[in-house]
Amino acid sequence: MYLAIAGNIGSGKSSLTALLSEAFGFRPVYEAVSENPYLEDFYRNMAAYAFHSQVFFLARRVRQHLLEVNGQDRVVQDRTLYEDALVFARHLHREGYLSERDWRTYLDLFQSLAPALRKPDLLLYLRASLPTLKARIAKRGRPFEREIPDRYLLGLNQLYEELMAGWDLSPVYVVEADRVDFVEREEDREALLEALRARIRP
């Protein structure tokens, strides 16, 4: 079974990936944030480094799928290829940070690669408002995330809602991250795991 965790920056994807890996015996696959050599430059100058950063994430996500997701029995992944393209890259294009030419080139790469990759059996979407995202981003303390504009996070949230409204690749389970704190509150953690037991094959 392949579980995918979707959600904005700071929504709790990595924490949920670790929790489900431990609770249900899934192999965790984490986003390669710290490995992206363009990311700090991107947050300083989005227009100059948007294409470079997105292509890095696309290439790394495809490699993860081929080596760690495709063919694995039980795997849980922190963020999907679909979010990279249809949320993050699309938002950068809408905001003018990706030119029309770069967006079309990126989209062609994504559409060429996506059919070769395994589709999730269940997508867990962490829905979080701006205050929740900002509080969690501040708490984890990555220096390059401190100055992420509110407009950027809000734009991503809008595109996440659009993606979820049209998602037809798998069932979706929505976790309302404003109310459910599975990291700090044991009762929330246990309630979430209990709700998921009926949806996760043994």
pLDDT digits (tens, 9 = 90+) for 26-69: 999 998 777 788 888 988 899 999 999 999 989 988 999 999 99
Catalytic positions, written as ranges: 78
What is the rounded distance in angstroms from the CA atom of residue 59 to the CA atom of residue 13? 20
Query: Across the strands, what pairs with 61?
Result: none
> What's the confidence (pLDDT) of residue 141?
65
Fold of 2-198: Rossmann fold (3.40.50)
**77 annotated as ligand-binding:** no
List, in order, residues 6 or more apart from 13 with CB less than 8 Å away.
5, 6, 7, 31, 78, 79, 126
Q: Is 141 annotated as a binding residue?
A: no
Short-list 113, 70, 90, 92, CA closest to 161: 90
Average pLDDT for the chain: 92
34 is in an annotated binding site: no
Q: Give residue 138's pLDDT.
A: 87
**pLDDT tier at 144 (50, 70, 90 boundaries)?**
low
Flag whether 10 is marked binding.
yes
pLDDT band at 155 (very low <50, low <70, confident <90, very high): very high
Per the rule left: phi > 0, alpha: psi between -120 and 50, beta: everything else, 71 is left
